[in-house]
Amino acid sequence: MSAARRFHGIVVGLLVGLMLLEFFVAVWEGQWMTSVLIAAILVIALAPLLAPRRMPVVLPAEFHLLAVLFIFASLFLGEVHRFYERVWWWDMLLHASSGLLLGMLGFLLVYVLNENERVDLHLRPGFVALFAFLFALGAGVFWEIFEFGMDRLLGMNMQKPMLGDLSGLTDTMWDLILDALGALVISLLGWWYMKHRQVFFIEAWIRKFIASNPRLFRS
C-alpha cells in the first residue's frame, strides 16, 4: 500500500469514527434530525468505498480524501455543529476552499474532454487555466442560485444574510468573490507550472484518475 493510500485510510477512518460516535450519541439522546443528517453525510462520504462498482468513476485516494474533508467541514462541522454561526469566517474559508477544489476539477475536465490525446495536451496553458477558473466560478454561481431558491421556496436560511442585509446580497457577493479568489489561485498555479513545463501536483493526480478509469479514455 502506498503512503498516500495509508494516509488516506487513516484520515478518513478518524473522521468517519468521529461522525459515527456523534451519530450514536444523537440517536441515544433522541436527536432524530441530527441523526438523519449525520447518516446522510456518512453515506455521501463513504459511497466510493461502500459501492465502488456502482460509482460512475473510480476516485483516487487524493480526490476522495479532499472530498471527505470538505464534506466533513461543510456539513458535519458547519451544519451539525453550527460552525457557520459560531465561527464568523467558516463560510468564507469553505467558499475559498471550494474555489480551489472546483478549479482542480476544471483541470481534470480539460484532460477528460481532450481524451484522444491522453495526458499529452496540445491546448495552451492559458486556455486550460481560464477554463478551470471559469468552471469553478460558474459552479459557484449555480450554488448561489440554489441557495436563493431554497430560501425563497422552502423558507430556509442557506444564504445567511449579514447583519443589516435582509436580501442576502452581501453574503452572495462575498461568497462569489471568495469562490473566484480560490479558483484564481489554483488556475494561476496550474498556468505557471504548465508554462514552465514543471511537474504540477494536479497533473499527477489526473494521471492517477486516468489510470483508475481507463474505460473513460480512448486508446
| Buried b / exposed e along 120-147 (16+ C-beta atoms within 10 A) | eeeeebeebbebbbebbbebbeebbeeb
pTM: 0.79
Please tell me whether residues 92 and 167 are part of one structural domain.
yes
CB of 96 closer than 8 Å to CB of 181: yes
Q: 142 is written with which cell numbers?
A: 449555480
Region label for 197, one of left (φ > 0), alpha (ψ between -120 and 50) or beta (otherwise) = left
Q: Quick one: 102 and 162 in the same domain?
A: yes
Into how many domains does the chain fold? 2
Per-residue model confidence (pLDDT) at position 4: 67
**Band of the pLDDT at 115, cuts 50, 70, 90?**
low
Residue 96 and residue 76 share a domain: no
Q: Are residues 19 and 38 in the same domain?
A: yes
Mean pLDDT of 39-57: 77
- Is residue 160 located within the same domain as residue 184? yes
Q: Are residues 16 and 33 in the same domain?
A: yes
Domain interval for residue 29: 1-87
Q: Are 27 and 46 in the same domain?
A: yes
pLDDT at 160: 66
